């Protein structure tokens, strides 16, 4: 469903470098071999979401740029490593298949909390679930071949991927298309 005129569907996220997207592509390719009924994400569009905003007025974009800029400028670059497969809510009832992000300095959770708190006065609800740094690989659509998928995830729970340094965040516009979501950067926020 497209955003109404004068609105954009938006979220705040950390972009991923090419080597991480290549790693995710390889994992998704392996997991697809199970033939489980999963809507797999496109690795080239994968990002680390800090806060999903939903439909917002285009007038709010410059306000968010002004308000969020100092939060990210106060953040040093964050060293991250991709690795570890899992499922939400659990491997016993998988709905989302993910790969983890290891945050060496423990900076992501406090950063996400600062973004969250800054946005509350603008009418954005607080998340009910705790922030868990992860990259979504796919969403389970049915139980077809689910046992095969779970077994493949179990066998690769300790998979290790590349490390990278996150040095900026982005306010993205998400455009929903029949072929999948397209993401367009609206504002880049450099870290310190």
Active-site residues: which are they? Answer: 47, 134
Using CA atoms, how far apart are residues 192 and 162, in angstroms rounded to an integer? 23
If one counts every other C-beta atom within 10 angstroms of the C-beta of residue 183, the result is 19
Q: Is the dihedral of CA 67, 69, 51, 2 positive or negative?
A: positive
Cα of first residue to Cα of last residue in the chain, in angstroms, is 37
* Residue 75: strand, helix, or coil: coil
If one counts every other C-beta atom within 10 angstroms of the C-beta of residue 13, the result is 20
| 103 contacts 166 by C-beta, under 8 angstroms | no
């Amino acid at each position: 469903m497209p955003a109404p005129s004068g609105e954009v569907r938006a979220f705040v996220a950390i972009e991923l470098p090419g080597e991480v997207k290549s790693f995710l592509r390889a994992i998704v390719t392996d997991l697809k071999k199970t033939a489980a009924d999963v809507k797999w994400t496109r690795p080239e569009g994968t990002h680390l979401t800090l806060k999903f905003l939903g439909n917002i007025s285009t007038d709010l974009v410059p306000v968010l740029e002004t308000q969020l800029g100092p939060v990210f400028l106060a953040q040093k670059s964050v060293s991250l490593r991709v690795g570890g497969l899992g499922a939400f809510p659990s491997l016993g009832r998988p709905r989302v298949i993910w790969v983890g992000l290891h945050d060496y300095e423990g900076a992501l959770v406090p950063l996400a909390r600062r973004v969250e708190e800054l946005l509350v006065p603008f009418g954005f609800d607080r998340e009910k679930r705790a922030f868990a740094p992860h990259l979504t690989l796919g969403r389970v659509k049915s139980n077809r071949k689910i046992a095969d998928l779970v077994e493949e995830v179990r066998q690769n729970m300790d998979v290790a991927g590349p490390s990278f340094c996150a040095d900026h965040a982005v306010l993205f516009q998400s455009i929903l298309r029949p072929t999948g979501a397209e993401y367009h950067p609206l504002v880049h926020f450099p870290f310190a």
